[in-house]
Amino acid sequence: MFRYQSLEDCPLDEEDEAFQTLGEEDEDIDQFNDDTFGAGAIDDDWQVAHERLAELEERPATAGEQADGAVSDEMDLLGDHEENLAERLSKLVIDNELEDPAIMQAVHTQPLVQTGGLNPSIWDGPAVLRRIRGPLLTQEVPSVSVLEYALPQRPPQAREEERDLSERALPRRSSSPVIGSPPVRAVPIGTPPKQPTVPNFNQQILCPKPVHIRAPIQQRYPSPYSERMSPNQLCNVTNSSLLGHPFPPSVTPVLTHLQRAQLLGGAQAGRMSPSQFARVSGLVSSPLASMNSKLIPGRVGQMISPASGFRAFFGAPPTQQHSPCPGSHLQNLRPQMFRPDTTHLHPQHRRLLHQRQQQNRNQHRNLNGSTGDRAGHRSSHQEQQRKDPYANLMLQREKDWVSKIQMMQLQSTDPYLDDFYYQNYFQKLEKLSAAEEMHGDGPKKERTKLITPQVAKLEHAYKPVQFEGSLGKLTVSSVNNPRKMIDAVVTLRSEDDETKEKQVRDKRRQTLFTIEKMYSLLLDVEDYERRYLLSLEGERLALMEERKQKICDMFDNLRGKTPSQERLSDDHFVQIMCIRKGKRLVARILPFLSTEQAADIVMATARNLPFLIKKDAQDEVLPCLLRPFSLVLYHLPLGTVTNLLQQLGNLPQSATAPAPANLHLTAVLQNKFGLSLLYLILSRGEELQCSDTNTELMQDNQWTELMFMATRELLRIPQTALAKPVSTPSNLVSLFSRYVDRQNLNVLETKLQLVQGIR
Amino acid sequence: MNYMPGTASLIQDIDKKHLVLLRDGRTLIGYLRSIDQFANLVLHQTVERIHVGKKYGDIPRGIFVVRGENVVLLGEIDLEKESDTPLQQVSIEEILEEQRVEQQAKQESEKLKVQALKERGLSIPRADTLDEY
């Protein structure tokens, strides 16, 4: 009571001050909301919406005052205000563009406090009541609502008491405990009622035994019950009504709904936001009063957001909710209330429901048949409604909100880093579809593509709240500052530690470690292309330098080069090449290396090929090197190619003396990779020789000698031992024709062709 | 609303009949009414279905709010093919009894297995100790 009065009597200027301080608070709270839900979650300023609502409120208030004098025709008044109300409702629903359901709910419920047309008058005390009661009583149109049954112990005469309670209970909220809205400017006491439900409300209390029932008014009551009442209260209502009172016909369907709601176990409670709980039940003390306060706000909240309340519960299609005509709204409601669709219900529920319906129908017949007729008249209409009255319990707006939150989690300033696999997957898909388009078959398929809203990188320095002298930190988790699961300190081990440990470790481990290190280098190098494209002009040179350095590092690692070392041993390289991962690594690194570096790698490979072949017997990944090797070969001059062939033949110097059997070369020929590589080298060398006529004599001779040796070896090896090459260069036959006689050429040809044929 | 291509959003599954398998092995069937970003679910007209062999029984559960982390599997039920099942529906009491018998048998065989392993000097980790991780 005290609270009520103080707020009510609050002078305007004081209120303004309060506004200002609250406004500052609000900014904090806005920031807090942003922190919690992310900057995008709550786009709209509720304050703006709030003011809009308040404006809407002012107008009907004045209209109501004028209408006060002309209460003579009660029906007109009713109709009038229904329209007003509905208009306001539809406006509210349409105007309000808030995104957050929680906020939305709050704003939707707020009007019940400030909606001068509805509430203040309800609580306004006897003067108003008397004024309205007069005409209603004389017209003898008392009406009954569930309310009465909900409060059966209340003596009808105790008007004073009731008023006190209601006043105390009135949650004329200055600021929401949750959202922190500023005080609502209240309509002064004594404002004439703008809502015809008010008189009825009081009417019922005075006339507990109904004579005539006004259905349209009745129907405004059910929803608050089903929506906002606790199961216990529902119990009271249903029990008392079923057991004791003669049941007014138009109320019964409500009860079946209530019962259903109760049986279904609190779906309604779930829809109530915490803020509503706080606001509605937190501020009231007496149970009776709490009931009141729950009922009225509930109803108004319900009416104001019909899309959430009515539709969800009674299954009216959403389109009709926005119809400006209030009559249609209520009419839609009614038939459904009389004939609830039960097919979807659980058998047990249905049985109970059926029982109750039977009961109610009996009472119904005894009392009044007219409303029942009307209901029957509309039953066909009801059948056209959707089968599932519980569908769309989740509003489109709520769905959008959820998906928005989900999408927000996908927002990233660097999608390539944050979502590497997804990005790559789609790059692959794009390539695939591009290839399909190239072939030109079929119309272009449009793939849906995820477009996440681009957010500017928000530097959001988060400082955890800390109190002086307190232990630990307060953790506030939000979208931007997710709760830290592990607060681990990352210590990078120094290179010294590594080397120390290396000495203890066996060689293989060391090699594996080197490979890992090179892979990370390689990934870095591979990323440079992307970074280059993203970088500014000025940074590019530095980037290039960095990249070059990294590539050099890679090569040094690969060859086991240390600054002190002058002469390179192949040992390190061979170790790497013995590991499957290492071979793939070399294949990936080669394209990045300079020609000399690459040639060095190829040479080293050729030199140690028999050994590598032996080690590769299980893995068989050496062929993956062919492609990068052939690319390297195409950049090599004849001299190097000759060298390479020499290495492959393992000839210390020019092979003058015909070796009895070149084991090295034999091993190479018996391997798929070895043979393919040999072919590649021969083919490339021949190409070079043909194209470049001015080759030095020395080199030419050397090449010829090597060619002889190679062909000799090829002829010697039994056909069965010859491996199947990955590919056979086309110019091989013409190449051989220059070095062997007719007969041998035929032999070779059949051998090679046979090989091709088998392949 | 655009969803990520290649992914499904539960939003599209709202108001359809779903079967939900929970982490504790329960099977729920009900209409999906509401979800949030954690895949917390609100099921409506839920029944808990117990399968034992070729029989099954439904226990009405009403509204079921499932915390998202407990969902193992969720799928829409084809209403047209729903009745087209080789399984036989039995009463709740019967299925509960069947379930009890089955669990007893399972426990017993488990006991035997542990015993046999013990005799050979082996032990298997208990399932519930594994659950904690």
Assess whether A60 and A25 both reside in one domain.
yes
Assess whether A576 and A710 both reside in one domain.
no
Assess whether A735 and A651 both reside in one domain.
yes
User: Quick check: A346 and B45 CB within 8 A?
Assistant: yes
**Residue A68, Ramachandran bin (φ over 0: left; ψ between -120 and 50: alpha; else beta):** alpha
- Beta-bridge partners for B88: B55
- pLDDT of A97 higher than 60: no
SS3 label, residue B71: strand
User: Quick check: A267 and B42 CB within 8 A?
Assistant: yes
Give the strands of the sheet with B71-76, arranged side by side.
B71-76, B17-22, B27-35, B41-52, B55-66, B88-89
Assess whether A6 and A104 both reside in one domain.
yes
Q: Give the pLDDT confidence of A611-648 residue by residue, as tens digits.
A: 888 888 887 888 888 888 888 888 888 888 888 888 77
Q: From start to end of A549-658, where are the E strands?
A: none
Which of A266, A405, A448 is opposite residue B63, by nearest beta carbon? A266
- pLDDT of A749 higher than 80: no
The verdict on A344 touching B (C-beta cutoff 8 Å) is yes
- C-alpha span between A215 and A196 (Å, rounded): 14
The mean pLDDT of chain B is 86
Q: Give the pLDDT confidence of A511-563 residue by residue, as tens digits.
A: 888 899 899 989 888 888 888 887 778 888 888 888 889 898 888 888 877 66
B72 phi, psi to nearest 5 deg: -95, -40
SS3 label, residue A621: coil
Q: What percent of chain B lies above the pLDDT cut of 70?
A: 87
Q: What is the pLDDT of residue A430?
A: 85
SS3 label, residue A576: helix
Q: What is the pLDDT of residue A496?
A: 60
- Which of A218-227, A720-729, B9-18, B46-55 comes out lowest in average pLDDT? A218-227
> B6: which chain A residues are within 8 Å (Cβ-Cβ)?
425
Q: How far is CA A332 from CA A116, A250, A337, A364, in A?
A: 27, 15, 9, 21
User: Quick check: A392 and B44 CB within 8 A?
Assistant: no
* 3-state DSSP percent of chain B in helix, strand and coil, to 5: 30, 35, 35
Assess whether A679 and A729 both reside in one domain.
yes
Which of B1, B3, B33 is opposite residue A394, by nearest beta carbon? B33
Q: Give the pLDDT band (50/70/90) at residue A474.
A: low
Assess whether A582 and A689 both reside in one domain.
no
| Domain boundary residue, one of A269, A288, A310 | A310
Assess whether A539 and A606 both reside in one domain.
yes
B27 phi, psi to nearest 5 deg: -115, 125
Identify the CATH assignment for B10-131 out of 1.10.10.10, 2.30.30.100, 3.40.50.11810, 1.10.8.350: 2.30.30.100
Q: How far is CA B124 from CA A92, A360, A450, B116, B129, in A?
A: 65, 63, 48, 11, 11
User: Quick check: A403 and B14 CB within 8 A?
Assistant: no
Assess whether A744 and A697 both reside in one domain.
yes
Q: Give the pLDDT confidence of A566-591 residue by residue, as tens digits.
A: 666 788 888 888 888 888 999 999 88
- C-alpha span between A682 and A449 (Å, rounded): 49
| Domain boundary residue, one of A310, A342, A376 | A310
User: Quick check: B1 and A400 CB within 8 A?
Assistant: yes
Q: Give the pLDDT band (50/70/90) at residue B57.
A: very high
The verdict on B116 touching A (C-beta cutoff 8 Å) is no
Q: Give the pLDDT band (50/70/90) at residue A676.
A: confident
The verdict on B33 touching A (C-beta cutoff 8 Å) is yes
SS3 label, residue B76: strand
Please check whether residue A250 lies inside any domain of the structure.
Answer: no
Assess whether A607 and A677 both reside in one domain.
no
The answer to whether the beta carbons of residues A93 and A305 sit under 8 Å apart is yes
Neighbours of A322 (CB within 10 A): 13
Residue A102 structural domain: 2-218+261-310
Interfacial A residues in 409-428 facing B (CB < 8 Å): 409-410, 425
Top mean-pLDDT range of A127-136, A202-211, A470-479: A470-479
More confident residue, A356 or A146: A356
| Domain boundary residue, one of A596, A620, A644 | A620
Q: In chain B, what are the domain boundaries?
A: 10-131
The mean pLDDT of chain A is 60
Assess whether A206 and A67 both reside in one domain.
yes
Looking at residues A372-388, what average pLDDT do you find?
47
- The helix-helix angle for A742-758 and A697-716 (nearest 10°) equals 60
The encoded tokens of residue A492 equal 């990078």
Q: What is the pLDDT of residue A56?
A: 60
Q: What's the domain count of chain A?
A: 3
Please check whether residue A693 lies inside any domain of the structure.
Answer: yes
- C-alpha span between B44 and A127 (Å, rounded): 47
Helices and strands (DSSP H and E) totals, chain A: 39, 0
Q: Which residue has the tokens 């305007």?
A: A12
Please check whether residue A239 lies inside any domain of the structure.
Answer: no
Q: What is the pLDDT of residue A179?
A: 42
Looking at residues A708-713, what average pLDDT do you find?
79
Q: What is the pLDDT of residue B40?
A: 92
In this complex, how many residue pairs, one in chain A and one in chain B, have their CB atoms less than 8 Å apart?
Answer: 72
Amino acid at A649: G
Please check whether residue A351 lies inside any domain of the structure.
Answer: no
Q: What is the pLDDT of residue B44?
A: 93
Q: Give the pLDDT confidence of A398-445 residue by residue, as tens digits.
A: 888 887 787 777 777 777 777 788 888 888 888 888 888 777 655 555
Please check whether residue A84 lies inside any domain of the structure.
Answer: yes
Q: What is the pLDDT of residue A154?
A: 44
- Which of A124-138, A650-664, B113-127 comes out lowest in average pLDDT? A124-138
- Beta strand B71-76 pairing with B55-66: unpaired
Please check whether residue A739 lies inside any domain of the structure.
Answer: yes
Residue (of A254, A353, A356, A242) closest to A313 by Cα position: A254
- Chain B closest-CA separation from residue A518 CA (Å): 34
Please check whether residue A79 lies inside any domain of the structure.
Answer: yes
Q: Is the dihedral of CA A39, A45, A46, A49 positive or negative?
A: negative
Q: What is the pLDDT of residue B60?
A: 94
Helices (H), A96-125: 101-114, 119-122
Largest CA distance in chain B: 62
pTM over 0.90: no
Assess whether A731 and A650 both reside in one domain.
yes
Amino acid at A213: I
Assess whether A651 and A757 both reside in one domain.
yes
Best A273, A343, A409, A450 residue to mutate vs chain B (most B CBs within 10 Å): A450
